[in-house]
């Protein structure tokens, strides 16, 4: 009996060790290790912000077409909602009138790269070129400096985030994905967004989603009823004195 108990003890200890090792690896690769150890293991974009108020940022990625863009802008104007638009260079060059229209409506514009490539595969020099070229295409129309960057496909690595930050950009992801690019119905988009939003959320939409504009009135109305206000990403994020949680949530350094 004692022998059996001893064997069981060894098995339990081994199982615990395996679990701890798995959690440690998961923590390391997710960035949680940085929180535990107080250091920086991974460079993280900003997914959301611990801003101390019920505020949310609506964002729109622009890469393909403009068919539904006017409808989106009309809803935002009617509801008095500011937003942030991330534009690929070839889109901005093809539709300068929309760059001007979006900027003129008081919305914020960031870069979504020059070529919409997987930028984690690029060298630091290639990354700088993408950022500079795409930002210049936007600034040529708006006469405003570009300070926000969203990596295409949500794809990034340490080199991309570090290089962008060195060039003066805040790297922005999202913590709520509408999946509007899948042509979900307006109702399904609204359910997804409203089910995921929390204080300081950054919501991902696309300017040419088939039912994006149709979903926005319900999303905005429901969030207003919950007591949320709307900000641009530039107004939502913390610009200094912050730290990054393992899930990419930007937090005041003193927390």
Q: What is the pLDDT of residue 214?
A: 98
Q: What is the pLDDT of residue 42?
A: 80
Domain 48-252, what fold? TIM Barrel (3.20.20)
Q: Is the pTM higher than 0.95?
A: no
Structure tokens at 138: 């936007």
Q: What stretches in the chain show pLDDT beneath 50?
A: 1-40
Q: Are 84 and 232 in contact (CB under 8 A)?
A: yes
Q: Report the pLDDT value the prediction gives residue 243, as an integer from 0 to 100.
A: 94
Helices (H) and strands (E) in the chain, counts: 10, 11
Cα separation, 114 vs 134, whole angstroms: 5
Sign of CA dihedral 105, 77, 68, 61: positive
3-state DSSP assignment of residue 229: strand
Task: Please give the Cα distance from 147 to 150 (Å, whole number).
Answer: 10
Spans of all domains in the chain: 2-30, 48-252
Res 51: pLDDT: 94
Q: Are strands 242-244 and 201-206 parallel, antiparallel or unpaired?
A: unpaired
Q: How confident is the model at residue 153, as a pLDDT?
A: 96
Is 34 within 8 Å of 41 (Cβ atoms)? yes
């Amino acid at each position: 009996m004692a022998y059996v108990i001893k064997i069981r003890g060894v098995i339990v200890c081994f199982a615990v060790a395996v679990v701890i090792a798995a959690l440690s690896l998961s923590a390391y690769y997710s960035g949680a290790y940085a929180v535990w150890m107080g250091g920086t293991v991974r460079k993280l974009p900003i997914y959301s912000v611990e801003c101390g108020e019920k505020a949310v940022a609506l964002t729109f990625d622009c890469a393909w077409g403009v068919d539904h863009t006017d409808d989106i802008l009309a809803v935002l104007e009617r509801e008095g909602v500011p937003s942030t638009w991330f534009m690929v260079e070839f889109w901005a060059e093809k539709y300068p009138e929309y760059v001007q229209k979006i900027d003129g409506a008081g919305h914020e514009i960031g870069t979504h790269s020059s070529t919409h490539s997987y930028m984690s595969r690029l060298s630091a020099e290639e990354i700088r070129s993408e950022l500079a070229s795409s930002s210049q295409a936007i600034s040529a129309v708006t006469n405003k400096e570009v300070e926000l960057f969203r990596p295409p496909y949500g794809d990034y690595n340490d080199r991309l985030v570090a290089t962008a930050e060195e060039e003066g950009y805040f790297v922005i992801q999202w913590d709520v994905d509408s999946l509007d690019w899948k042509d979900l119905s307006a109702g399904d988009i609204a359910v997804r967004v409203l089910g995921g939003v929390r204080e300081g959320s950054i919501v991902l939409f696309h300017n040419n989603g088939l039912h994006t504009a149709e979903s926005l009135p319900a999303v905005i109305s429901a969030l207003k009823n919950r007591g949320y206000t709307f900000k641009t990403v530039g107004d939502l994020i913390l610009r200094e004195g912050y730290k990054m949680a393992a899930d990419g949530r930007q937090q005041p350094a003193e927390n």
